[in-house]
Structure 1
Amino acid sequence: MKEIGKIIKERRKSLKVNQLELSELAGVGINTLVAIERGEGNPKLATLLSILDTLGLQMTIELKS
């Protein structure tokens, strides 16, 4: 979760969007977003996908090698 949070935070900052703006755009609570960026909690997949979509990111699932 920490790696995903780090990616989300870096992308948000590169777009010059603050946490409140992103939470509103993605339709998630500010506390939820802060926790995700810190690598804390256990967010729902729908929440993560909403944030990623808002940031122009996507999640990929691959088979283990």
Structure 2
Amino acid sequence: MGLGQKIKAKRKELRMPQEELAALSGVSERTLRDFERGKLSISLQKALDIAEVLGLELKLVEA
């Protein structure tokens, strides 16, 4: 499962519409929609902003 899919799953778990998450995280609805569908890559900062709104923490780990 990719990051976009995980973001979508958490958003749905919280019953938060895409419009609300987009507004609270400062990204466009289209960007969020395409990211969740795996059609778009976003910057690390945007991913962090979205994760923060959802109460998630992104971590970088060595492989």
TM-score, normalised by the number of residues in structure 2: 0.92
Q: For residue 4 of structure 2, what is the aligned residue in structure 1?
A: 5
| Identical aligned residues as a percent | 37
Aligned structure 1 segments of 4 or more residues deviating by more than 6 angstroms? none
Q: For residue 59 of structure 1, what is the aligned residue in structure 2?
A: 58
How far residue 33 of structure 1 moved from its aligned partner, in angstroms, is 0.2
Q: CA RMSD in A?
A: 1.1
Larger radius of gyration: 1
C-alpha separation between the residues in 1 aligned to 2:8 and 2:49? 14
In structure 1, stretches of 5+ residues that fail to align are none
Q: Answer 1 or 2: higher relative contact order, Cα 8 Å, separation at least 6.
A: 1
TM-score, normalised by the number of residues in structure 1: 0.89
C-alpha separation between the residues in 1 aligned to 2:41 and 2:20? 22
